[in-house]
Every structure is written in structure tokens, then in C-alpha cells.
Structure 1
């Protein structure tokens, strides 16, 4: 049996120095002539310079993953040991990981701490599914003398593609169950968060004793590799978290070659405040669900749909609270609102603000641009059918929409192509749950905000917000192949 080395590390690692790709158990310089300057979103200083990995290096990764898959799938104890060591490594390197998240992604210290703890919790839950392979389930026979068994086996090689906003957690959400269930992985982080989303994970797995080829992480971009992670013949599943537009593109390619997909896409999460809601508590939840990580979360509240009877009270208290949020350098542990990830996203946010003003929305809180930090904006009486309300904001911009009744609120909430997360505030819990079932979303939270994720719940969206479910045990279906084997124990008579 392969011997697994433990982390044995107490010294803090400088993850900003891990600017190479990790292929077949080796750290290799990207072979492209192109370089990428990894910038601190707060001050645009260069924190690392990365050599881009090429399409040829990506092919090396796939070949390595293919060669490693059978031995990895066959060794349950090894998979379990690696995951345990992985958890220990993250715990040992908490300070260095949080520092990397803050510097590379503009995350606040609070958000970075939350992300790391979510990641560790997910890995702990993933340990529970390591022995799910080869399990035999006897199905009640529908015919005499026939025994039915159901087997699970790994899919093989999996492509995982992660976004910049929760780079560590949203990478691990796909990587951990894929590895636990005996698959091998070729991973591409968003290069803006390549160290947080790729290098930290690769270093942790290397130290945890993962065999060469089982996990590969490439610091590259679409300009260099095109659709090679999607149409590669050895790829059995593509797990992607990101925009709906890219998700549609992946779906078209994967569908043509019958590859599986697990897609967590864009959101337009409604936060519904009914007339009987506890407004003070609703405001507290609303502020957190909107402004955590400056609104750069797929589950972040996108539309506040408020019953007209409590609209003015909610708006006044929400604005008062939003105006007090600390903003600035995310390295300051008191900061809540930090920078957006890059200038492109900032320009998009400013354009949306301009369109809201042009459309005549009430400016309830006029934010400001302080360096690279956009402070909270709040707009009232926004038209739910407008372009801005119908699309993901991904910025510290809150829009309030007035509903004339509970039914009208549900109608407004469902009037979108998206359906990821949602929330309802009401003091009538039974009524709240009844209305929750009418909201067209994969998740609805009563008397809470929309940014919730647990490793043992079915996380995912409907409509244009995605395909598939993460979380134990639902993720097992996504990352394994199910096979029925029947055994006819006595001769079966046939009619002809």
C-alpha cells in the first residue's frame, strides 16, 4: 500500500511564491511566452507574476490524470488519509491562507475566515463518502430467483473550473468529492485568484501525500487553452461555477459529446419582506446578505422585494445601517466593504449605477468611489422588469422593489430567468414555508438571508442558475457511475 506522509508543518507558507502550475506531481513553469501580473485589487500592486501554462501542458495533465485514475480509485484508505492530511494542512496554515485570500482577491478578513472554515467543514463532510464506491445494494426482486445489485464506480477524469469570488471554497466543493469518490482531477482556477484557488490546494495535496497525476492545477486562461478542458476526450464530467453565459457554452459542448456537467451559475436572489415581518431583524440579515464580499457572491441578495406596508420602514433602516459599514483596505480586520476584483467589474458597477439613475430610481443612499473601493449604493422603487433588476449586480448596489401583496411579492421574485437562492421574512413560519415552495429557486431561507451553504444539503439552482446538486449525499450521484448487476440464481423460463 502507498505510504502517506503527514503534513508535519508548523512553519507558515508563503503561498504568493507558488506561481507555477502543478502537473503530474511536479511544480512546472508555464511554457507560454505570456505572463500574468496577479494584482492586489485594493491598490493594484503586483503580488505575483505568473507564467501562463499552455495547451500542451494541459494535455500532459490529462494524460497524467488518466494514468493515475485506476490505482487511486482502488485505494480507499489512501483517499481517506490524503483528505485527513488535507484538513490538517489547512488548519496548520490558516493565517497564511487568510492572508493570501485578502491580498489576492480583496476579501475582508472576516470573509476570508468564513471561507476557510467553510472549506474545512466541507472536507470533513467529504470524508464520509470516501467508502461509497463498490457498495452493493440489494434491490427487492421483481422476479423470482433474481438478485439485483447496484454498484457505484468513479467516472474517471474530471475537469473543475472555479471562479474568483470564493476561490478556495468553490474549488474544493468540486475537487474534494471528485477525489473522495475515486476520480482524478484537472483544475483551472480563475487566474485572478490562481494562488488562492489553485496553488494553495496543490501545495496542500502535495504535502498530504496525493500520488502524482491524481490532482493537477494549471495557471492558465481561455486565450491559451480555448475549450480544451471541455472537449477533451478523456474528460467525463465538467464541474463549473461561474456565469450563466459560460455555463450555456459549456452545456452546448458537453451535450454534443454526452459529457456530464455540474453547473452552478448566476443568480438573481430575491429577499422578500412580507407585511408581518420583523423589520429590524430583516434589515440585519439583508445587510449581511447584500454586502458580504461587496456583493460579489452568486447567492448575494440581488433584489429586495418589500411589501408596501413596511417598505418605508425597511428602506429607512436599511439605508441607515448600510451607511455605517466600514470600508477600505481589506487587510484592516474591521473592513466590511473592500474593492471589487478588477477595474472591469468596477466599471460595470458604475455603469449600472448610471442606468439606475437614468431610469429614475430613487437614490436612497449615494455611495462613492474611494480609490478602488465602491461604497454601498441603495436605490428604491426600482422596476422589477428593468435590465438592471433582471441581471446579477455582483457589486455593493442594493435595489428595492415594492410589492402590493404577498402573492405579488412571489410573482416578482419568480419574474427572472434565474433561480439560485432566495429568502422570505415573515413571523408566520407555516405561511413562510408554504410561500417558499412557490419560489422558483433551488433554495429558500425563511427569516434568514440568501448566502447560505452547508456540506450536507442539496446545494444548486433551477432555471438558468445551474444543473446538478452539491452536498452529501447528492454529490455522489453527480461524481459516480451507477451500474445495475442482476444475478439469475435459477433457470428462468421464457415464453418462446
Structure 2
């Protein structure tokens, strides 16, 4: 696969040194896009500085009323055309996700497919009911209707770069907002320029979408800009706290989808092979670089040792390598900083008494699928989000113990329970503090039509996706209509 001279959607002549403001223009400065599997530079992108953020936010605010006032079929038509463009260039998009993000081909294909589904679902939003008629006095019509917020700022991460950007951009646009997207610079092509090109070729009016790769200062400027009404942020809890604080200071609506330390509870009546298969998927998918990844596996003591043995054998059988060169199960971590953090947590876990059942080593950015057993609640591996391919196995005795261990975290994003007794699992699930719960499934799930969001350090209790999109990307307006103004007594 040669992207250097790849014609079509992402021809490098279009975006080299550029960013998107409704047209392609030179960035304030340029930076390289690095392939994590090889360290090679795939191209150079334009980066936005604070002044670029300000001018784009102002331009988006000017463009938004015209976009919102279009007939709903015109807005829906843009989304439908974006679907067709994405389908036409499916393989090219997948290739960039593989090369730029270190994704396996299967993961990249799934990400592109679910992104297309997001666009399809968003295309249905403009034609839905935008409010309701409220009871009032005779002769007075009282309405509550949903109105666009204005300009929505989207700050998206590197791990599912295309999908986690599009799941906010598409519904926000569909509901009449303009959008300024700041993708992670490490995946700015697949997580930003793909979005720009899809909507550019779909005929989105110029100025309704801006795609501005940038650093933390650019993100802070977007959060503070007076022309931006809302920030949708997906990323780490540490960064999310700063975004939430800044958004609150500037009285902006904010949606935060943050990290997680997600527990998968394996009960003693579970099918052991199915439990291992679910654990491996939830732990090792995209090298564990998923906010919903299975961060710890709570296994009832009666089956703990057999479970660890089977999981270690499964992990040891998984292939690791450059996903652009062959069919592998795991690709590279995104950069050295992330690799070193994973290695640190594994080493600290060993010092606190955990045992490495398999793995634990790395070459370059390729980290071996690792299984840690005998992990106790005082171990760093129990409490810290690892964001790497490390299964943390913790034994428990009773159902009460499992509930207490699962809830022993500041996070609350996703949890799963594997059991042959659904009633037992449901009773336990009612007591788990989590934004998403999966009975007889692992923790990494998304279908584009479901609300996604966490509690505690995993988010601010908001959700995006599915039915939640109307709530997040619009605001209520109360309107009354009468034949003539009333006569008031004073």
C-alpha cells in the first residue's frame, strides 16, 4: 500500500502544509505525520495557532445561520452525499487509519464502517420533530422547540481518530450548528482531513466546518473563544478536567468523554472459553488504546487459576507487528511516551506483588500482549488507566466482593459481567456505578445509535450518540404565540 502518491480523497497535494477553513490554506506552521510502526514521515500537516482558532471561530459563527436556515432536506442531502463519498473511498480511508494510527486492518475497517453509519444516522436528524406543543391558556399557542447552539468546538483523540471526531461533527452539523474540529495532530489526516474532504466533496457550504490540527494552546483557545457555544471533548481525564474548568469559566456547554478503568466481572458459572475470548477482545483491541478497554478482569477465585492459564495462552498466541505489512492481531502503540507509561505500570505492578503470566516486554513501539495475575487493589495496575495491551486479573470470592472491587475507582465508563445466570448478573449490574453496562459481553461496545458517556472521572454525566444527540447539540427555546398582546393590569 503506497500512500505517497495516493490519488483521490486524500491526495497529498491537497493537504500538505495545509488546514481546512472551508478552503485549504497554509497552516501557521507545519509538522510531520509519523507512522508509529516504522517511524517514517507520511507527510506534513498545517497546524493552527491561537489567531487561526479565533478567525475560524468567527467565520464559523457568521456561516452558521445560513447553514441552519437551509431546508432540512438540503442539510440531510449533504450528509447523504458524504456517505457516498466515504463508501467510494473506503479502502483509502482504511489505509490511512492503519498507517497513521497503528490500527490493524480489521479495526480500521470497523472504524470506517461505523463512521459511515454515524453519517447515515445524522442524515435522519434534520427531518425529525424539533419540539413539542405545551399546554397553555385558551387562545395562546405554547411551543418548546430545539434550536442549534451556534458553533460547536470538537476536540478529538488519536485512538479512534475518524469515528470519535465524526460522531460529534456529523450530528452537530445535521442539527444546524457550525463546527470547528481540532483533531489530535498525531492522527490529523485520518481524524481530521478525511472529515474535511468528505464534507467538502459533499457540498457543505464553506465556513460551516473548519478542521484545525493544533497543540494544547490551540485547544485552550477554542475552549475560551466567545464565538464557540459548546465544546465536545474526548480524551484523557487530566485534559478533560482542564477543558471542563475552562468551559465552565466561559459559560459554555461542555460534553466530556474521558478515560476509564473498566471492570469485566467473570463469575464462577461463566463459560470459561467465552470469558477468555471476551477478555482478550476487550483488553487487546487496538493495543488497549481504547477508553472503554477492559482495564481489569475480576475473576471468581474458584476459576481464577484456570482462567489465567487460558488467557495467558491466548495472549501468547496473538501476533504483533506492522499492520500495514500483514495480518496481525496487534500493531504499535502510538508513541514512546505511551509505551514507557505502559512499561512503568507493569514494572510497578511486579514490585507490588503481581505476576507476569505472559508478555511484559516490547520492541520499539510494539508491546507484547501481557497478562498480570495476583493483582491486588493496592497495585498501580489496579487503579491506573494503562492504555496498553495489559490484562489485569484480580481474584474475588463473593458477588459482594466483585461489586465492591468494580466500584473501587474514580472512573465510571463501561463495565461487563459474564455469567450463565442472567438474573444474577442483572442484580449485580444494578449496583455498579457506570455509564454503560454489558451483560454477557466485554466492555468495548459501540453501535453509533447508542448514547455514550460516563460518570465520575469518566465524564460529566453527558452522553453523545443516538437519542442523546438532540439533547447535546441543541438547546430548548420556549415560544408562545397569541393573536394580540394581552392587557396587563399595571
- List 4+ stretches of structure 1 deviating above 4 A: 143-146, 487-496
* Residue segments in structure 2 that go unaligned for 5+ positions in a row: 1-5
Equivalent pair of 1:340/1:373 in contact (CA under 8 Å): yes
**Contact residue 90 and residue 120 of structure 1 kept, 8 A:** yes
2:468 equivalent to 1:443: no
Q: Report how far residue 332 of structure 1 moved.
A: 3.6
Q: Which of the residues 89, 95, 103 maps onto 2:91?
A: 95
- The 8 Å contact of residues 16 and 47 in structure 1, kept in 2 or not, is answered as no
Q: TM-score, normalised by structure 1?
A: 0.93
Name the SS for the 1:389 alignment partner: helix
Kindly indicate whether residue 340 of structure 2 is the aligned counterpart of residue 347 of structure 1.
yes
Alignment pair present for 1:49 and 2:22: no
The separation in 2 between residues aligned to 1:302 and 1:16, in whole angstroms, is 38
Aligned counterparts of 1:438 and 1:19: Cα–Cα separation in 2: 51
Map of 2:127 onto structure 1: 131
Q: Distance in 2 between matches of 1:21 and 1:299?
A: 33
Q: Deviations for 1:151-187, whole angstroms, at most 9, x for unmatched residues?
A: 1110001100000000000000110010000000111
Q: Is the 8 A contact 2:9 2:194 kept in 1?
A: no
1:29 and 1:53 in contact (8 A); partners too: no
Residue pair 1:329, 1:335 contacting (<8 A) in 2 also? yes
Distance (Å, rounded) in 1 between the aligned partners of 2:135 and 2:325: 61
How far residue 482 of structure 1 moved from its aligned partner, in angstroms, is: 0.5
CA contact (8 A) 1:145 1:490 kept: no
Structure 1 pair 20–199 and aligned structure 2 pair: CA distance change class (3 A): farther
Structure 1, unpaired ranges of 5+: 1-9
CA distance in 1, matches of 2:356, 2:124: 50
Residues 67 and 490 (structure 1), Cα distance of their counterparts in 2 relative to 1, 3 Å cut: closer
Equivalent pairs, count:
482
1:115-139 Cα distance to aligned partner (Å, 9 max, x none): 0011011111112212347x34112
| 1:412 to partner: Cα distance | 0.3
Secondary structure of 2:297's counterpart equals strand
What does the per-residue CA deviation read over 1:355-391, in whole Å, with 9 as the maximum and x for residues that have no partner? 1111110111133313321111111111124333111
Q: Is the 8 A contact 2:17 2:44 kept in 1?
A: no
CA offset digits 1:265-316 (Å, max 9, x no partner): 0011101001111111111111111111000000010000111111112111
1:26 to 23, 37, 43: 23
From 441, 460, 470, the counterpart of 2:464: 470
2: CA distance, partners of 1:427 / 1:374: 34
Matches within 5 A, 1:195-344: 195-223=189-217, 225=218, 227-344=220-337
Find the counterpart in structure 1 of residue 3 from structure 2: none
| Matched residue SS, 1:311 | helix
SS at match of 1:239: strand
Which of 90, 93, 106 is the aligned partner of 1:110? 106
Hey, what does 2:55 align to over in structure 1? 60
Do the aligned partners of residues 493 and 300 (structure 1) sit closer, same or farther apart at CA in structure 2, a change above 3 Å counting?
Answer: same
CA distance in 1, matches of 2:374, 2:141: 63
- Cα distance in 1 for residues equivalent to 2:122 and 2:328: 32
SS at match of 2:125: helix
For the aligned residues, what is the CA RMSD? 2.0
Match of 1:484 in 2: 478
User: Helix, strand or coil: the match of 1:212?
Assistant: coil
Q: Within 1, Cα distance between the matches of 2:74 and 2:484? A: 40
C-alpha contact 2:292 2:414 (8 A) present in aligned 1? yes
SS at match of 1:306: strand
Deviation at 1:478, TM superposition (A): 0.7
**Separation in 2 of the partners of 1:490 and 1:99?**
62
Assess if the C-alpha contact under 8 Å between 1:270 and 1:304 holds in 2.
yes
Flag the 1:88–1:411 CA change in 2: closer, same or farther, 3 A.
same
Contact 2:9–2:197, Cα closer than 8 Å, also in 1: no
Tell me the TM-score normalized by structure 2.
0.94
